[in-house]
Chain A
Amino acid sequence: MNPLAGLQKIGSVFIAFLEAAGKLTTFMVSGISHAVRPPFYPRIILHQMMDIGYYSLPVVGLTAVFAGMVLALQSYTGFARFSAEGAIANVVVLSITRELGPVLAGLMVAGRIGASLAAEIGTMRVTEQIDALTTLSTNPMKYLVAPRLIAGITMFPLLVLVADIIGVFGGYMVAVYKLGFNPSNYLQNTWNFLTFEDVTSGLVKAAVFGFIVTLMGCYHGYNSRGGAQGVGTATTNAVVSACILILSFDYILTEMFFAK
Chain B
Amino acid sequence: MNATSSTNPKISLSGVKKAFGRKVVLDGVNLDVAPGESVVVIGGSGTGKSVMLKSILGILRPDSGSIKVDGEEVTRMGASERERINNKFGMLFQGAALFDSLPVWENVAFGILAEKRVNRVEAKEIAIQKLSQVGLISDVADLFPAELSGGMQKRVGLARAICADPEIIFFDEPTTGLDPIMADVINDLIVKVTREVGATALSITHDMASARKIANRVAMLYHGKIIWAGPVADIDHSDNEYVDQFIHGRAEGPIKMAVRA
Contacts and interface: CB of A to CB of B under 8 A. Distances in A.
Contacts of A123: 100
Contacts of B110: 136, 138
Nearest to B90: A135
A132 B99 contact: yes
B239 interface: no
A127 B58 contact: no
Could you say which interface size class chain B belongs to? 20 to 34
Interface in A69-128: 120, 123-124, 127-128
B59 A131 contact: yes
B59 A134 contact: yes
B54 A137 contact: no
Interface in A121-158: 123-124, 127-129, 131-132, 134-139
B59 to A, nearest CB: 5
Contacts of A120: 101
Nearest to B80: A139
B93 A136 contact: no
Interface residues of A, number: 14
Interface in B129-177: 160, 164
A128 B59 CA distance: 10
Contacts of B95: 127-128
Contact of B160 (A128, A136, A137, A138): A136
B86 A134 contact: yes
B153 to A, nearest CB: 11
Which residue, A135, A137, A139, has most C-beta atoms of chain B within 10 A? A135
B115 interface: yes
A137 B91 contact: no
Interface in B42-60: 54, 57-59
Given A137-B86, A139-B83, A129 B100 contact: yes
Contact of A131 (B87, B93, B101): B93
A113 to B, nearest CB: 16
Contacts of A136: 110-111, 114, 160, 164
Contact of A129 (B54, B89, B97): B97
A14 B86 CA distance: 37
A137 B59 contact: no
Interface of A: 120, 123-124, 127-129, 131-132, 134-139
